[in-house]
Amino acid sequence: MTIGIWVLGDQLSLNQAALHDLVAKLGVAEAQRRSRVLLIESSGVLHQRAYHLQKLVLVWSAMRHFAAELGEAGWHVDYREASGFADALQPWLVEHSITELHVMEPAERPFRMAISRLLDPSDNHQARDRPLPPRLIWHASTAFLWSRDDFATWARPYRQLRLELFYREGRRRFGVLMGPGGEPLGGQWNFDHDNRKSPPRGLSGPDPLWCEPDAVTVAVLAKVEGIQNGRRSAGLPPLPGSLERFGWAVTRQSALAVVEQFIATRLDGFGPYQDAMVSAQPTLWHALLSPYLNLGLLHPLELIRRLEQAGLERGTPLPSLEGVIRQILGWREYTNGLYWLFGPDYTERNHFGAVAPLPAWLEQLGGSGMACMDTVLGEIRATGYAHHIQRLMVLANYGLLAGLDPQALTGWFHRQFIDGYDWVMQTNVIGMGLFADGGLLASKPYAASGAYINRMSTYCKGCRFNVKARHGPDACPFNSLYWDFLARHQAQLGRNPRMGLMMKQLAKLDAAELDAIRATAADHRQLAVQA
């Protein structure tokens, strides 16, 4: 009997559950002697989704490096490049007479279903031809701090779930930034009010650590360039993004170096300008660690512990240290927990009945004419990255105000972002960004006019639109769309007590001005569709 272990592309850790459980059961030597480990680099993923070029390079290069690391650790590894998962899996099962296939639970619901289908003889042609399908053994995911069951147990008593309660429970449960007597360190759980400073003139953050591509990455870059050229020759739309400069870390070792560089240069300053957006400063004090956490190169608990230890040793201001830990121990775990709690129908939510198609400039990553939007899109084109406030208050805010179809916009985010995965997209885009779930995640829509972007960014100074104007050809589109959004959904929004102030401001607008604003918004939407 040969035991098969299929390691998925976002499970790149020697401690991932399928490997770990087998070692725990048989011991290292026996586990390695009796098993073979499979990794599949499938270009078939592009039939479902046209990913950003840098995302493909990151994932495939990280997989190739991890396969080598497994081999060096003594595992028998089979690395397959294939045009589809089934094309690689089925011959491998036969070749090695695999009778048991061990897989760690995927982080994404659709992928779990796809794996089950691949091995179901009644559903899959190639599986049917096999004499004996292997027994599929799932291993509970260890990629997050909270298991799916633990999260569901935590959530059960609440009628309304809120991040703050979950986050405090996480701090207590994992003993992070706690003082004596179960009190939070510094006497406060939350320093958000200290972390919302507008950017002063000339604000610039420390440079992040970018890594030089090694020979493995260079080979993947060539493969991805080949795919791009092939698509062009076949008349297919090109994959988004640019490969001009690829600098993401592709090994655990280099991801750890990124962590240390973040601690040395940006941890202390993480807090104050967390919500700021500055032209030509795409990263500021952000950590740039989501791609590595999401691939399994880093585990969230080891990262939290390292940040806590380093921050306390360095005397990092608590608002900065608590600020970054809140993101990982709070938001990251919360959005993942909710993804599994809400179930598969969550993805179809559309509270405001938004149906507008995506403007072409989103797909083209530029050309909207709005300085804020084009800056963020240009940064995404270069690296597949934008920081949280750019995602929330420029991209998703626009989608919310303009009434873009939530499913189409979620798909767009998934294609464009270096760290995009189903589990993190759904709750962040459908829930936090678009309020398409009607308030399961956020207590009110994150809707904001140009005034917010002007206060928190440097973009408006270089924009052809006037951020103070609400209507007319020069008016900032975020302004006209904002008032139009409030007016369009007055009945629904009026029932939300947290929208009271905004709805009062809407009521104060005189009818002629509101008509002019709404006509400007309609013109913008019309142009955006044609663009």
Ligand X SMILES: Cc1cc2nc3c(=O)[nH]c(=O)nc-3n(C[C@H](O)[C@H](O)[C@H](O)COP(=O)(O)OP(=O)(O)OC[C@H]3O[C@@H](n4cnc5c(N)ncnc54)[C@H](O)[C@@H]3O)c2cc1C
Where on the chain is the footprint of ligand X (CB under 6 A)? 286-290, 293-294, 324, 327-328, 331-332, 335, 387-388, 391-392, 396, 413, 417, 419-420, 424-425, 428-429, 432-433
Shorter beta-carbon distance to ligand X: residue 331 or 478: 331
Q: Which one of the spans 213-221, 240-248, 413-421, 455-463 is the region binding ligand SF4 (CB under 6 A)?
A: 455-463
User: Token match 């497994």: residue?
Assistant: 70
- Does 521 participate in binding ligand SF4 (rule CB under 6 A)? no
Given ligand X, ligand SF4, none, residue 371, with its beta carbon under 5 to 8 Å by kind, binds: ligand SF4
- Give the CA distances from residue 234 to residues 226, 239, 363, 509, in Å, rounded to whole numbers and listed in that order: 12, 13, 19, 53
Q: Phi and psi of 91, rounded to 5°?
A: -60, -35
Q: Which one of the spans 101-109, 230-238, 368-376, 493-501 is the region binding ligand SF4 (CB under 6 A)?
A: 368-376
Shorter beta-carbon distance to ligand SF4: residue 429 or 460: 460
Q: Which of 166, 459, 482, 485 binds ligand SF4 (CB under 6 A)?
A: 459
As measured in angstroms, the least distance from the Cβ of 448 to ligand SF4 is: 9
As measured in angstroms, the least distance from the Cβ of 143 to ligand X is: 12
The span from the CA of 99 to the CA of 145, in Å, is 31
- Does 398 participate in binding ligand SF4 (rule CB under 6 A)? no
Q: Which of 321, 325, 372, 517 binds ligand SF4 (CB under 6 A)?
A: 372
Given ligand SF4, ligand X, none, residue 411, with its beta carbon under 5 to 8 Å by kind, binds: none
Q: Which of 11, 13, 347, 454 binds ligand SF4 (CB under 6 A)?
A: 454
Q: Which of 370, 389, 392, 502 binds ligand SF4 (CB under 6 A)?
A: 370
As measured in angstroms, the least distance from the Cβ of 410 to ligand X is: 9
Shorter beta-carbon distance to ligand SF4: residue 294 or 454: 454
Given ligand SF4, ligand X, none, residue 450, with its beta carbon under 5 to 8 Å by kind, binds: ligand SF4
**H helices then E strands: how many in the chain?**
26, 5
Given ligand X, ligand SF4, none, residue 465, with its beta carbon under 5 to 8 Å by kind, binds: ligand SF4
Collapsing DSSP states into helix, strand and coil, what is residue 404?
strand
Asked if residues 279 and 300 have their Cβ atoms less than 8 Å apart, the reply is: no
Q: How many residues bind ligand SF4 (CB under 6 A)?
A: 14
Near ligand SF4 in 475-504, by CB under 6 A:
476-478
CA nearest neighbour of 329 among 321, 341, 340: 321
- Does 330 participate in binding ligand SF4 (rule CB under 6 A)? no
Using only C-alpha atoms, the chain has a radius of gyration, in whole angstroms, of 24
Asked if residues 147 and 274 have their Cβ atoms less than 8 Å apart, the reply is: no
Given ligand X, ligand SF4, none, residue 86, with its beta carbon under 5 to 8 Å by kind, binds: none
Residue 315 contacts by C-beta under 8 Å, 6 or more apart in sequence?
none
As measured in angstroms, the least distance from the Cβ of 254 to ligand X is: 15
Shorter beta-carbon distance to ligand X: residue 53 or 289: 289
* Token pair of 301 as six digits: 């608990």
Residue 111 contacts by C-beta under 8 Å, 6 or more apart in sequence?
8, 422
Shorter beta-carbon distance to ligand X: residue 17 or 392: 392
Q: Which one of the spans 122-130, 131-139, 337-345, 461-469 is the region binding ligand SF4 (CB under 6 A)?
A: 461-469
Q: Is 503 exposed, middle or buried (0-12, 13-18, 19+ CB in 10 A)?
A: middle
The span from the CA of 224 to the CA of 218, in Å, is 10
Annotate 233-290 with three-state secondary structure.
HCCCCCCCCCCCCCCCCCCHHHHHHHHHHHHHHCCCCCCCCCCCEECCECCCCCCCCH
Given ligand SF4, ligand X, none, residue 452, with its beta carbon under 5 to 8 Å by kind, binds: none
Given ligand SF4, ligand X, none, residue 460, with its beta carbon under 5 to 8 Å by kind, binds: ligand SF4
User: Is the four-CA dihedral 73, 75, 76, 80 of positive or negative sign?
Assistant: negative
Residue 60 contacts by C-beta under 8 Å, 6 or more apart in sequence?
9, 41, 220, 223, 224
* Token pair of 13 as six digits: 């850790």
- Does 386 participate in binding ligand SF4 (rule CB under 6 A)? no
Residues that bind ligand SF4 (CB under 6 A): 370-372, 450, 453-454, 459-460, 463, 465, 467, 476-478
